Structure 1
Amino acid sequence: MPSVRNRRLEQLLGGPIDESLTYGQVTGLIPATAEGPDLDIKRDTYGGRDRDRKALCGDVGGLANANGGVLILGMDEDSQGRAAKADGVDISDAERLRLHQSVVANIHPTPTFDIIPVENPDRPGTGFLIISVARTATAPHAYIQNNSLLYPKRIGTQTVWLTEALVAEAYRARFAGLADRITEAARIEQDFTTRLDNRQSWLVATLVPDLPGAFRIDTATLKAFDDDIAGRPILGLDIPVARFRRAGVRHRRLMGYGESDTHGRYLDLACELHENGSASIASCFDPRQPRPGHDGPPPPSLINDEILVATVAAALRFLAVHARDRAAAGGLATVRATIFPVGPDRPARLVHSRLGGVDNLGTYPVWQPPVADTVADIDELATDGRDLLAATYHLATGLVQEFGRPEALQLTADGNVRRRYWDRQAQPDVMRYAEQHDIDVIDD
């Protein structure tokens, strides 16, 4: 996926800012295109001296602290700051790696960026290096110099270094934005849960991108979505969790579900995927129906710890794929998970199922909905592997701690697998997943 989604630049270049860019598209900027707040043109690449490093990090960090944009290395400019000549630079893997490492090592937090080589067909090994920098919600990004933090920002066609007052203002904006996204996740979740059958117990997960994307819902979109999900299960560590059967639409969102009742309430699996990349998904844990020989209200819902972990992993990946691939949202996202409904008349217990029985894990039942939230990279959540499992661990741990359990023992904090805490039925799927995705298996 492109790091930068910028309509003005895409129109100038005649296509998305990604590996599909051609030499002809970039030279098409000559001679009329001028630098701007989102476009910086450099004749040469950056050297290896301290001042060169500062210039590179200042230019990249300056775009990240503004609205994102593109640096083009290998193109000369005239006295008016307009693209004038294609000089070319070294576009080798070694050069790209050097520049990439310099940014990662010297800017904190690391911005979302990519370095794209565009080769001159007449001079192999040379051409343009396109450094695309995404607009970010984690600004301000600081350049670290001699244990000091310097904050660049691109204003107009220049990179300036922010004063202390402007840095403080940028941090206030970051924290206010995070609070807004946490609030938005809770709002989306609350609206979504009104359409869940509240006689059952659900794991509900909601994702809100830091930087919203967009897609259009029409007949073709709905058909493609139906083709994508109909009859297919969602998987957590290769364990099938639940299966979608139908697709539909609500206002400015796609919806998918397994079954519904005559009132339109979801019964087993459901999702609502918003046009801006936000989304919620819910999977039923426990139907909470009275058990044989039980009189009176339904007994406490039994939340199986393995199913909880697998469902969180499946939910995170499903939501992130929607945000990234359908809505073209990127960067970080705020993610929230809860068990719903839980209340004085609907308690829940954490258990572990074994052959022939069920063991209580928590020290007490819960009487209010457990809630956990975290911030994670959308690309990492959308890709099976250690990063996805690390985020799963943090969310699942936040939930089980409400039951008095210190952590979700099926995983480790850095995204590896603990074998002994998966039962024999689940182990083959989990071990296969670990092998396929280079995940360590811990036997302690």
Structure 2
Amino acid sequence: MPTLRNRRLEQLLGGPIDESLTYTQVTGLIPGTAEGPDLDFKRDTYGSRDRDRKALCGDVGGLANANGGLLILGMEEDSQGRAAKAVGVDISDAERLRLHQTVVANVQPTPTFDIIPVEDPDRPGTGFLVVWVARTATAPHAYIQNNALLYPKRIGTQTVWLSEALVAEAYRARFAGLADRIDEAARIERDFTSRLDSRQSWLVATLVPDLPGDFRIDTATLNAFEQDVAGRTISGLDIPLTHFRRAGVRHRRLVGSADCDANRLYLDLSCELHEDGSGSIAACFDARHTRPGHDDGPPPGSRIDDEDLVATIAAALKFLAAHARDRAAAGGLATLRVTIFPVALNLPAYLVHSRGHGFVNALGTHPVWQPPVADAVADIDELATDGRGLLAVTYRLATGLVQEFGCPEALQLTADGNVRRCYWHQQAQTIVMRYAERHGVDVIEDRAG
């Protein structure tokens, strides 16, 4: 379940803003907690009339178009806009569904939000409805009224409707922001790969949050990071890949690595995790090989196993998303980029599939002579959690890479995040099937196409 990450509000409530929120925490805002740009109190829930629908969508859309925040329904405020009394509202599933559907049907694009019921222990079925809304990179969000688009924004403690000029400015900011994040991912990748040992073949993944987080690197942070990663094996779909052995820092980033050579180039596994929640991770596929099936073939190239590619991308995405969400408190969407490094005219990459017992089959129609790249946008919380959401994004990125070799898709997964059994070799099938059972992933027995 996605959650709102807002340090100010978490401090006010004394804990995370998720389904663990208690009645005591919310009533702890009484007396005296004032409304603000990210906090709004409502005595009653929203009704079903047109003006109520507009008010609900305006309040939710207004927060999404600003910096996100909370609407707390069931909290009476005083004349100064401060929490004064818990009056309670209906917190039934039916009421939550009605409010949720109203927003989804009338605000486009749909903001990232949720409605958390917080029950009064003395009055079952009554309590607070805590509506959290995340700031998103897809702003501006519009309320649709009679085929017209109205754009709300919370400014101070009020929701206002934007003028045409401000709407145009918001759209320019959206598209400029996406281009900036794509460029930033490529820049972070270039800087990171300059410290990888080019005698090895790497899968490199980079994540840039649409809404940056923040954390401070100091001695305590480094010690905690070292305890977290030292000896830790990263795995994709529970298939173990390799593990970190050491931790360190560079300017405004944490560094994890399996080893370094004499020139301080990373070997086998490495990551650089930035203070704003962005980061890159690289996992080594293998050393150099001659062309598959030709011991006396052309100069050495990189042999990229499609099954390893899928598992490594899944592991990399989950690792980077956990850093962004849990360490840097970044939320919302992220721009993702994956590539294979190094690839060049004198160092091509070949796509293969290992059938076990030393047998290797070439895949695709041709090698690649420059680094293949795939990118995507996905929800950080979804990436940090095992299951279909993570696997669906893994499929998109892996498919983007293998298509550069002339292969139509990554066959181990499906576009909706399920698993195709027959495209995993025998040794991996048992592990992957257990993963699927634990995380609610369907297993597809038929071959693709």
TM-score, L = length of structure 1: 0.92
Paired AA for residue 170 in structure 1: A
8 Å CA contact 2:76, 2:84 repeated in 1: yes
Range moving further from structure 2, 95-104 or 426-435: 95-104
* Root mean square deviation of aligned Cα: 2.4
1:368 is paired with a residue of what secondary structure?
coil
Q: Distance in 2 between matches of 1:421 and 1:101?
A: 40
Matched pairs, number: 443
Paired position in structure 1 for 2:277: 277
Paired AA for residue 306 in structure 2: D
Q: Distance in 1 between matches of 2:289 and 2:365?
A: 24
Q: Distance in 2 between matches of 1:21 and 1:434?
A: 30
Q: Distance in 1 between matches of 2:225 and 2:248?
A: 9
8 Å CA contact 1:4, 1:69 repeated in 2: no
Q: Deviations over 1:225-262 (max 9, x none)?
A: 22222223211111112222222222222111112212
How big is the shift at 1:334?
0.4
Paired position in structure 1 for 2:88: 88
Paired AA for residue 332 in structure 1: L
How big is the shift at 1:302?
0.9
Paired position in structure 1 for 2:37: 37
Q: Deviations over 1:362-421 (max 9, x none)?
A: 211111110111000001101111111110011111111111112111111111112222
Range moving further from structure 2, 276-285 or 127-136: 127-136
Paired position in structure 2 for 1:99: 99
Q: Distance in 2 between matches of 1:36 and 1:223?
A: 36
8 Å CA contact 1:76, 1:84 repeated in 2: yes
Paired AA for residue 322 in structure 1: H
How big is the shift at 1:340?
0.5
Range moving further from structure 2, 29-38 or 354-363: 29-38
2:426 is paired with a residue of what secondary structure?
coil
- Does residue 397 of the first structure (1) align with residue 399 of the second (2)? yes
Paired position in structure 1 for 2:171: 171
Paired AA for residue 384 in structure 1: D
Paired position in structure 2 for 1:227: 227
Paired position in structure 2 for 1:350: 351
Paired AA for residue 175 in structure 2: F
Q: Distance in 2 between matches of 1:21 and 1:431?
A: 35
How big is the shift at 1:438?
1.5
Paired position in structure 1 for 2:131: 131
8 Å CA contact 2:289, 2:302 repeated in 1: no
Q: Distance in 1 between matches of 2:203 and 2:147?
A: 45
How big is the shift at 1:180?
0.7
Q: Distance in 1 between matches of 2:31 and 2:320?
A: 43
Range moving further from structure 2, 354-363 or 62-71: 354-363
Paired position in structure 2 for 1:332: 333
Q: Distance in 2 between matches of 1:363 and 1:294?
A: 19
Paired position in structure 2 for 1:431: 433
Aligned ranges 1:126-275 → 2 under 5 Å: 126-275=126-275
- Does residue 112 of the first structure (1) align with residue 106 of the second (2)? no
Paired position in structure 1 for 2:370: 368
How big is the shift at 1:211?
0.9
Range moving further from structure 2, 205-214 or 66-75: 66-75
TM-score, L = length of structure 2: 0.91
Q: Percent identity?
A: 80
Q: Distance in 2 between matches of 1:23 and 1:339?
A: 50
How big is the shift at 1:272?
1.0
How big is the shift at 1:75?
1.9
2:260 is paired with a residue of what secondary structure?
coil
Q: Distance in 1 between matches of 2:164 and 2:223?
A: 52
How big is the shift at 1:298?
4.6
User: CA 1:218–1:48 in structure 2 vs 1: closer, same or farther (change >3 Å)?
Assistant: same
User: CA 1:343–1:102 in structure 2 vs 1: closer, same or farther (change >3 Å)?
Assistant: same
Paired AA for residue 56 in structure 2: L
Q: Distance in 1 between matches of 2:170 and 2:305?
A: 43
Paired AA for residue 369 in structure 1: P
Point out where structure 1 has 5 or more consecutive residues left out of the alignment: none
How big is the shift at 1:350?
0.8
Q: Distance in 2 between matches of 1:80 and 1:357?
A: 75
2:314 is paired with a residue of what secondary structure?
helix
